[in-house]
Amino acid sequence: MPYEIPAPMLAKSVPEVPAQEAVPGGLSYEPKWDGFRGLVSWDGENVEIGSRGAKPLTRYFPELVEAFSRLLPEPCLLDGEVVVPKGEPGSQRLDWESLTQRIHPAASRVDMLAESTPAMFIAFDLLARGDRDLKMEPFSERRAQLVHLLAGLPHPIHVTRTTMDADTARTWMNEFEGAGLDGVVAKPLAQPYAPNRRTMFKIKHARTADVVAMGYRIHKSGVGVGSLLVGLYSDDGALYPVGAVSAWTNARRLELIDELAPLVQTDDEGAALTGAGQKSRFSAAGRDSSFVKLRPERVLEVRYDQLEGWRFRHTVQFERWRPDRDPASCTYEQLESVSAYDVGAVLD
């Protein structure tokens, strides 16, 4: 039988890379890979890939299942990240859109995408090896066992690099973002594996931008604003959706309905106009993703970590309303550009 896949150990956000002496026993620093968390169980016959949300990923990545079966030298339970690189060698970066498209109900499309946008696995922890349960061992020992187990394995299985030097980790923060990574993780060397507990530290890029309110979705409870859809203007004057702001309190959701009412676009009969929203492939089937359209007249400042293509990579956080800003001035030009960096160089 495969190993029992536990809930993953989590990380709490901190504003900057912590020093070695921040925790007893010191820290190990590693790049923060931006993909699907994957806990891989290989018992010598069967492979299972579990996600952070307990949804199995096994059927969506047949090329990884084949690679684990063929390459892993002995039964083990790995923790890591499933990512999809795109681009030519020497100029590759992680591609979130291609990764999310891998979650598809049709087996034929799964097989096609496994060929056209193959994934790779970045291992960063080892929870079991053979009959030995390593979860209660300190991370320093688990890391040593991981390197010993996977040393020399070819693509698509990789072991993430680490450093004990905080200054090197700070350099990675700046350089590796150009390859699609989104920060650094600091792991206490002396701590055991703690499922579902935030005992690690994550340091992510945080920037601000002024964006235009384009519409809102009703909260899943059916009452109040669940998320506010925001956009930016391109050089041709078109307003493009770039993400959503959510995490409002119950009281604030109700207040926003009244505040935004004067901006709601209506038809000739006074009914609110709606549009089709974008839905995650992990969303529940049948979930309504439509939104109420707003006239693009109100500006807000948001915090974001990185841009991917035309959109913010993650949900953005509300900072403040900006009544002093002209919506037309909310363009892509205000966003910080990031120098390109090759995924392969991160793996070296």
Domain ranges of the chain: 10-205, 207-334
- Tell me whether strands 198-204 and 10-13 are parallel, antiparallel or unpaired: parallel
The residue ranking higher by pLDDT, 341 or 154, is: 154
Which option is the CATH number for 207-334: 3.30.450.20, 3.40.47.10, 3.20.20.70, 2.40.50.140?
2.40.50.140
- Residue 32 annotated in active site: yes
What pLDDT is recorded for position 86?
Answer: 92
- The Cβ-side half-sphere exposure at 231, using a 13 Å CA radius, reads 19
Q: What's 81's DSSP letter?
A: E
Q: Which range is least confidently modeled, 19-23, 25-29, 163-167, 324-328?
A: 324-328
282: pLDDT strictly greater than 60:
no
Contact (CB, 8 A) for 135 and 127: yes
The secondary structure element, H or E, covering residue 47 is strand 47-50
Which option is the CATH number for 10-205: 3.30.470.30, 3.40.50.10470, 3.20.20.70, 3.40.50.300?
3.30.470.30
Going by pLDDT thresholds of 50, 70 and 90, the confidence category of residue 281 is very low
> By percentage, how much of the chain surpasses pLDDT 70?
94
What pLDDT is recorded for position 280?
Answer: 42
**Residues 32, 187, 204, 293: which is the catalytic one?**
32
Question: Which stretches of the chain are DSSP H helices?
Answer: 62-71, 96-101, 107-116, 139-150, 166-175, 250-260, 343-347
Token pair for 128: 């079991």
Whether pTM > 0.85 for this model: the answer is no
Cα(141)–Cα(53) distance, integer angstroms: 27
On average, the pLDDT of the chain sits at 89
Burial of 46 (0-12, 13-18, 19+ CB in 10 A): middle
Token pair for 163: 């450093």
The residue ranking higher by pLDDT, 170 or 284, is: 170
Q: What's 285's DSSP letter?
A: T
What CA–CA distances, in Å, run from 190 to 50, 84, 184, 193? Answer: 26, 32, 19, 10
- The Cβ-side half-sphere exposure at 190, using a 13 Å CA radius, reads 7
Q: Which stretches of 251-348 are assigned E, i.e. beta strand?
A: 274-275, 291-293, 299-304, 307-308, 311-312, 317-321
What pLDDT is recorded for position 337?
Answer: 67
Q: Using a CB cutoff of 8 Å and minimum separation of 24, what contacts does 320-323 make?
A: 322/210, 323/298, 323/299
Going by pLDDT thresholds of 50, 70 and 90, the confidence category of residue 288 is low
- The strand pairing partners of 233, in sequence order, are 239, 331
Q: Can you tell me the mean pLDDT for 20-47?
A: 95
Going by pLDDT thresholds of 50, 70 and 90, the confidence category of residue 177 is confident
Helices and strands per DSSP (H, E), number in the chain: 7, 21
Q: Which range is least confidently modeled, 55-64, 129-138, 201-210, 226-235?
A: 201-210
296: pLDDT strictly greater than 90:
yes
